[in-house]
Amino acid sequence: MDSQAIATHPDQAHAEHEHSPYLRHHFANLEQQKETSTFGMWLFLLTEIMFFGGLFCAYLIYRNWYYPAFVAGSHQLSIGLGAFNTAVLICSSFTMAMGVHAAEMRWRKPLIGWLLATIFLGCVFLGVKAIEYNEKWEKHHVPGLNFSAAGFTKQDPKYPEDRPLAPDMAEKTQVYFSLYFAMTGMHALHMVIGVSILVILVFRAWAGAYTQGHMTTVENFGLYWHFVDIVWIFLFPLLYLISRHQ
Amino acid sequence: MSQLTEKEILDTEPTHHSEHIVSPKVYGLIFASLLCLTALTVAASYVDLYAFNVIVALAIACLKAVLVILFFMHVKYSSRLTKLTVAAGFFTFFVLITMAMTDYISRAWGMW
Amino acid sequence: MHFISPVLWQFLVNWLTHFALFPPEASTIAPHADALYFFLVAISLVGLVLVLALVAGFSFLYRQERNPVATQIEGSTLLEATWTIIPLALFMLAFVWGAWLYFRIYNPPTNAMNIYIVGKQWMWKAEHPGGQHEIDSLHVPLGRPIQLTMISQDVFHSFSIPAFRVKREVIPGRYTTVWFEATQEGTYHLFCTQYCGTLHSQMIGTITVMKPDDYEAWTEGSTSGMSLAQNGERLFASMGCNACHSGSAAARGPNLAEVYMTKVQMTNGSYSTVDDAFLRDSILNPTMHQMAGYAPIMPTYQGQISEEGMIDLVEYIKKLNSNYRIQQTLNTSQVQSSAQNPAPSQSSNQGRAQQTAPTAPGMVKP
Amino acid sequence: MSTILSLPDQTTATLPKRSYLNDGYGLKSWLLTGDHKRIAILYLISITIFFFIGGFFAGMVRLELLTPPTDLMAADTYNKMFTMHGIVMVFLFLVPSVPATIGNFLIPIMVGAKDLAFPKINLLSWYLYVVGGVLTLSALILGGVDTGWTFTTPLSTHYLNTHVVTAGLAIFVAGFSSIFTGLNFIVTVHRMRAPGMTWFRLPLFVWSHYAASVLMVLGTPVLAITLVLVVLEKVIGIGVFDPAKGGDPLLFQHLFWFYSHPAVYIMILPGMGVISEVISTFARKRVFGYTAVAFSSVAIAVFAFFVWAHHMFIMGISNYSALVFSLLTMLVAVPSAIKIFNWSFTLYKGSITFETPMLYAFGFIGLFTIGGLTGVFLGSMGMDIHLTETYFIVAHFHFVMVGGMLMAFLSGVHFWWPKMTGRMYPEGLSKLAALITFIGFNLTFFPQFILGYLGMPRRYAAYPPEFQVLNVLSTAGATVLGVGYLLPMLYLTWSLKYGKIAGANPWQATGLEWQIQSPPLTTNFEETPVIDYEAYDYEWLANKTKHEVQTVG
């Protein structure tokens, strides 16, 4: 029976991994240690799902309530920039996956190269995000700080089929932009944290930390990075795409 | 729910094939298909499909997420415990949304 | 009784004179709520006594002196099933009974008399249809279903009358309702039970239940001269509502006469019942309540009308049976305005509203 | 009543030469430790401090309520008092109480591991807790916060100028502390079990901590994001919950209670685990219906996420939704009932002694039964209308949290005190304290049920005079209760130096933790244990003891 299986294998541990410098004292062997930390990382990602889950829930509710405002709000976003950023993030996920692969193969220089590429792409994403935020500021679409719904009561030449919103609905675009900033802001915060950790990883990889048989840190960071990517994979259609047609 | 918990109890022991190394070819393939899907979803958004715009966009997003989770995040090669963890996360998220929606949807049904 | 301390004496007197296990039963709901309460107390007592008897009995019977060696028992599926099913059945009974009571309390009868309540930090304002305003008190007649339509101007409050066993959160931005029918004359507590800031505990008042005759007398005596509907009519004219909602065939807005509690078709094809909340919301968020066949041209009145003003308007529209007076108002004002200054478009209300507009009730002052 | 068994290892017991307590001295060896036992002690000290801080606020609240008008303090001071009482007690005491102290100490030992899976994260979680605590105190020192622990919008976001942001941040940080604790437990239970330690050989203490950890990991982040939104709304004015901008204040309630209802199970489940251990040990009998109790913990954890809107029955949620949530609430009551009956039947044909932990456990069963059953009152929608937001609900959750959780916590602390410190607590004094606590508790909180049904609203600084008698009783009870809580702190501290030496297994309990020396080694076990017996197997223990006596003598 499955439940008869046991988590530690003392005999095996003594035979194989007794002297590994990476084995922390409370684990029986490196395999247990690796599985444990990967599982821990997954649980952390579980909390992240729920963290963003609250925002997605709010989005769902308000989109149903204020559909025209959400349509008009999303028309203020640039699909070009959004698609570009999506591609950038997917590239960075790829480079990260390749970085993990390089670590698995114990290739030091490729690992550093892939990690640097990931940092670069992460920064590009954040740069584009900054451009988008700046544009929102100039258009007075930052809720609370600098917001005016006046633009939404007029005809938008870019979307001739859109009717201008009535003033009451136009005010509700603030809800859209609140969620836009909360969601992309939280996502960007995760990106910033990710890039900062990447920088540390690069320095340690330079010193040869992850290419001598212990690469769990890189792998777990990879999980985090891919998770942040997945969040964006959902944010992109929800915020930019699905409201193109009324 | 009870099946979930029972499974969780019985099948969560580590399986010992986590040393599976995914080849760069697979990564490349997934990478290419992710980019294609991105292009597809952007293209689809320019076509007026009425209610299906949302469904198509979200279906593509889910497909992309599944690809990333299975291959980039190695879940395809991971233990059942990892798979179950991922499932538990989405399940709870689903509970949050559906149970909250019971309120929002039915508020309009009656005057109270 | 000088040999016990006066404080303690006072305490004892207090105890003897004020001891009660439940508040007065002063509404038709109260006996039902108490019945459920006693049922729940009974099953709780049975459960508690059972558990205590088991624990105490076993502790006595199987204490180490009497039973030095324990007998290991794995469990019993039969017993597990018993104490799964019996509590579940009792809880289900509590659920069904509770649900029945809940729907009874929150489902007002159609013939209920409507009183409006506005909650704000930290006072209750009650507005009777006849235009009587009360602060931190509410006078109601005996034996007549009263429906309260409530709204908050700021934060969550909660309108609670323990003697009637009714309570409902009063929330900003939305009408909530509760109803009761008082069965006992007297004065009862009114509490705000949702924490609402510094003077939360001062947001209290009294409910006075009076005989119908006394209530009539009270209404006569405390009228402000204008009923809510009359105030609403004035506001209706001064805000220029009558320009579009004139009831004529060519009007730009829907006809409002006798629209209350009818089903109307919306632009998206669905049907909605025109209730108080619908009326209020249509004034504040007209695009979300767009009736089929009309262009979305109505501006929002968000921030322009106070909650009391909204109540006047809602009450006015509810009571509106014909468009005769609207058209009258409209005609006189058009005549006057065309005579005085040729037609700036929103000035159709000038005639009688000019004197009243600055002081019109319900307008939010800039 | 008989007291501690006189067994060979007790009479000749000496303190072991090496233990986690003397493995390094000095502040640094404690503050930078990775040892789960030392972190547990750090937690124990810090939550005790916060418990007494929270208790002080409770005392002030009760004192103010001695008389009907606001005479001791102004209304806003009173509001700050009950807010701080709530925040400190909920987030800094109840949530981490059993898991972060007793759980932290015992879970690795119970599963046969040398440490938790992530010792550094465990330490980080304590530091986050301290940061959260310091932020809470700074909110207090800067001038306090008066939102109530529920942070109801729009009151907290737009109508109060107190230190909502600081308090929100404090809870955010403390929340991550609890996420990391839960994460560590789940990973440890899954991955660190010793050979032979199958799921169904785990003590019920581990099961209930596992269930609570799942709730911590899945629920807490929702509270975190909700608080972020509240802070953003307060600081820069975004419009997610603000009705003036089109937001729905009820959404805040949904998201808040999505965490905060499971949070009450986070608080009570570990306590239930303690009770399972204690009852079994002092009845010298395997827990009746082990699997039923284990699965009821899991069932509580699963149902916990389906019932949150019963906090909102009168708040204007749709009535149909209320119906669904009320029904599910009734279902979640069943697993608790199952546990109560199983504990009662564990006593059947046992061989019962009445040491202090057992007395607290009896207190728990009685008070938790009342607390749980009054929960059914509140889950029953029509009754909830009259009872919610009154002292009835205050009494209900204090019966569950103080009568339940705190009793369980004290029971656990006494039960494992010999394991943690190697020394016994004074039995007579502690029995007295248990009795005082029980009497004080009932005197404090039982009158509040009556007050609640009479309609006295909660969070009132002043109240109508006819409620005074019951309030005086309640305040008098609180004084007794205060003594009941001060006593253990004093005699437990005393026992650190003067207590009798306990020996490895003073209770003759079967748990793995009792088979090692007290206090344990830093690595818990000299070699990885191999588990070849079921949980609560007293026959195995008897054989083992017999064997030992034979070999020694």
Beta carbons within 8 Å of B109's beta carbon, 6+ residues apart: D318, D320
Q: What does the angle CA C133 – CA C137 – CA C141 come to, to the nearest 5 degrees?
A: 85
Question: How sure is the predictor about C359, in pLDDT bands with cuts at 50, 70 and 90?
Answer: very low
Query: Which residue in C has a C-alpha nearest to residue A169's C-alpha?
Result: C287
pLDDT digits (tens, 9 = 90+) for A4-33: 334 344 444 444 444 567 777 778 778 888
**pLDDT mean over C163-177:** 92
In this structure, which long-range contacts are made by residues D500-503, counting pairs with CB atoms below 8 Å and at least 24 apart in sequence? D500/D423, D500/D424, D501/D13, D501/D14, D501/D15, D501/D422, D501/D423, D501/D424, D502/D10, D502/D13, D502/D418, D502/D419, D502/D421, D502/D422, D502/D423, D502/D424, D503/D7, D503/D9, D503/D10, D503/D12, D503/D13, D503/D418
User: How far is CA D540 from each of CA C69, C225, C281, D504, rounded to the nearest angstrom?
Assistant: 14, 89, 72, 17
Question: Is a pLDDT exceeding 60 seen at residue C17?
Answer: yes
The tokens describing C173, both together, are 């931005």
Secondary element (H or E) of residue B26? helix B24-46
Question: How sure is the predictor about C334, in pLDDT bands with cuts at 50, 70 and 90?
Answer: low
Question: How sure is the predictor about B108, in pLDDT bands with cuts at 50, 70 and 90?
Answer: confident
The most confident of the ranges C103-117, D142-156, D203-217 is: D203-217
Spatial contact of A112 and B28, defined as CB atoms under 8 Å apart = no
Amino acid at A120: F
Q: Tell me the domain boundaries of chain B.
A: 1-17+79-112, 19-77
Q: What 3-state class would DSSP assign to C123?
A: strand
Spatial contact of C350 and C337, defined as CB atoms under 8 Å apart = yes
Beta carbons within 8 Å of D540's beta carbon, 6+ residues apart: D510, D533, D534
Question: Which ranges constitute the DSSP H helices of C245-323?
Answer: 276-284, 307-319
pLDDT digits (tens, 9 = 90+) for C185-212: 999 999 999 999 999 999 999 999 999 9
The tokens describing C28, both together, are 């038709």
Q: Does domain C23-63+76-225 have CATH number 2.60.40.420?
A: yes
Range of the domain at A112: 41-241
Q: What is the DSSP letter of C160?
A: E
Question: How sure is the predictor about B38, in pLDDT bands with cuts at 50, 70 and 90?
Answer: very high
Overall residue count recorded for chain C in this entry: 366
Number of H helices, E strands in chain C: 9, 12
Q: Look at residue A26 and tell me if it is in a domain.
A: no
Pick D236's closest partner by Cβ from A35, A65, A145.
A145
Overall residue count recorded for chain A in this entry: 246
Q: Tell me the domain boundaries of chain C.
A: 23-63+76-225, 228-359
Choose among A10, A89, A55: nearest CA to A186.
Answer: A55
Residue carrying the six token digits 């030091």: A108
Q: Catalogue all structural domains in chain D, each as residue range(s) with its CATH number.
A: 8-16+27-552 (1.20.210.10)
Residue to mutate among D191, D206, D218, with most A CBs inside 10 A, is: D191
Choose among D196, D213, D369, D217: nearest CA to D298.
Answer: D213
More confident of the two residues B17 and D160: D160
Q: What is the pLDDT of residue C343?
A: 41
Q: Look at residue A12 and tell me if it is in a domain.
A: no
Q: How far apart are CA B71 and CA B24, in angstroms?
A: 11
- Are the beta carbons of A234 and B53 separated by less than 8 Å? no
Q: How far apart are CA D453 and CA A153, in angstroms?
A: 53
Overall residue count recorded for chain B in this entry: 112
Choose among D415, D413, D420: nearest CA to D496.
Answer: D420
Partners of A146 in the β-ladder = A142
Q: How far apart are CA D313 and CA D24, in angstroms?
A: 55
Relative to beta strand A146-147, strand C271-273 is unpaired
The tokens describing C114, both together, are 């409507």
The percentage of chain D sitting over the pLDDT mark of 90, rounded to a whole number, equals 81
Question: Is a pLDDT exceeding 90 seen at residue C345?
Answer: no
Question: Is a pLDDT exceeding 80 seen at residue D9?
Answer: no
User: How far is CA D24 from each of CA C68, D13, D19, D41, rounded to the nearest angstrom?
Assistant: 43, 23, 10, 15
Relative to beta strand C166-170, strand C157-161 is antiparallel
User: How far is CA D93 from each of CA D52, D100, D179, D376, D404, rounded to the nearest angstrom?
Assistant: 10, 10, 15, 25, 14
Spatial contact of D193 and A7, defined as CB atoms under 8 Å apart = yes
Question: Is a pLDDT exceeding 50 seen at residue C51?
Answer: yes
**Rg of chain A (C-alpha set):** 23
Torsion of Cα atoms, A219 then A223 then A229 then A234, to 10° = 160
Spatial contact of D443 and D480, defined as CB atoms under 8 Å apart = yes
Angle formed by the axes of helices A67-74 and A30-65, to 10°? 110
Range name among A225-239, C136-150, C310-324 with the lowest pLDDT average = C310-324
Question: Is a pLDDT exceeding 80 seen at residue C8?
Answer: no
Partners of C118 in the β-ladder = C125, C151
Chain B / chain D CB contacts < 8 angstroms: 59
Spatial contact of D443 and D518, defined as CB atoms under 8 Å apart = no
Q: Is B111 on the interface with C (CB under 8 A)?
A: yes
User: How far is CA D216 from each of CA A233, C193, D483, rounded to the nearest angstrom?
Assistant: 27, 30, 32
Q: How far apart are CA C179 and CA C168, in angstroms?
A: 10
Spatial contact of D173 and D131, defined as CB atoms under 8 Å apart = yes
Residue to mutate among C7, C63, C276, with most D CBs inside 10 A, is: C63
Q: Is C84 on the interface with B (CB under 8 A)?
A: no
Question: Which ranges constitute the DSSP H helices of D65-96?
Answer: 75-87
Q: What is the pLDDT of residue D345?
A: 95
Q: What is the DSSP letter of C291?
A: B
- Domain C228-359, what architecture? Orthogonal Bundle (1.10)
- Are the beta carbons of A26 and D523 separated by less than 8 Å? yes
- Are the beta carbons of A241 and B50 separated by less than 8 Å? no
CATH number at residue A203: 1.20.120.80
Dihedral angle sign, alpha carbons of residues A188, A192, A197, A201: positive
Choose among B67, B62, B70, B66: nearest CA to B33.
Answer: B67
Relative to beta strand C204-210, strand C137-141 is parallel
Q: What is the pLDDT of residue D216?
A: 94
Any chains having at least 3 CB pairs less than 8 A from chain D are: A, B, C
Question: Which ranges constitute the DSSP H helices of chain A?
Answer: 10-16, 30-65, 67-74, 79-104, 108-138, 167-171, 173-206, 216-235
Residues of D in contact with C102 (CB under 8 A): 313, 319, 322, 326, 381-382, 384-385
pTM of the predicted protein model: 0.91
The tokens describing A245, both together, are 């047609």
Question: How sure is the predictor about C5, in pLDDT bands with cuts at 50, 70 and 90?
Answer: confident
Q: What is the DSSP letter of D526?
A: S
Q: What is the pLDDT of residue D468?
A: 87
Tally of structural domains, chain A = 1
Q: Is D324 on the interface with B (CB under 8 A)?
A: yes
Residue to mutate among D341, D378, D534, D540, with most C CBs inside 10 A, is: D341
Q: What 3-state class would DSSP assign to D68?
A: coil
Q: Is D318 on the interface with B (CB under 8 A)?
A: yes
Q: What is the pLDDT of residue A246?
A: 59
The percentage of chain C sitting over the pLDDT mark of 90, rounded to a whole number, equals 44
Q: What 3-state class would DSSP assign to C161?
A: strand
- Are the beta carbons of D187 and A182 separated by less than 8 Å? no
Q: How far apart are CA D110 and CA D531, in angstroms?
A: 11
Distance in Å, alpha carbon of D309 to nearest chain B alpha carbon: 8
Distance in Å, alpha carbon of D297 to nearest chain C alpha carbon: 14
Q: Look at residue A34 and tell me if it is in a domain.
A: no
- Are the beta carbons of C284 and A171 separated by less than 8 Å? no
Q: How far apart are CA C211 and CA C269, in angstroms?
A: 47
Q: How far apart are CA C205 and CA C182, in angstroms?
A: 17
Q: How far apart are CA A228 and CA A234, in angstroms?
A: 10
Q: What is the pLDDT of residue D3?
A: 41
Partners of A147 in the β-ladder = A141
Q: How far apart are CA C172 and CA C46, in angstroms?
A: 43
Residues of B in contact with A245 (CB under 8 A): 48-50, 53
| Burial zone of C259 (CB within 10 Å; 0-12 exposed, 13-18 middle, 19+ buried) | middle
Query: Which residue in B has a C-alpha nearest to residue D317's C-alpha?
Result: B103
Q: What is the pLDDT of residue C259?
A: 85
Q: How far apart are CA B47 and CA B69, in angstroms?
A: 29
Q: What is the pLDDT of residue D254?
A: 94
pLDDT digits (tens, 9 = 90+) for A127-186: 999 999 999 999 889 988 888 888 888 877 777 777 788 888 888 899 999 999 999 999
- Are the beta carbons of D298 and B92 separated by less than 8 Å? no
Q: What is the pLDDT of residue C364?
A: 54
Distance in Å, alpha carbon of C354 to nearest chain B alpha carbon: 37
Q: How far apart are CA D505 and CA D518, in angstroms?
A: 8
Question: Is a pLDDT exceeding 50 seen at residue B111?
Answer: no
Spatial contact of D34 and D124, defined as CB atoms under 8 Å apart = no
Q: How far apart are CA D512 and CA D531, in angstroms?
A: 9
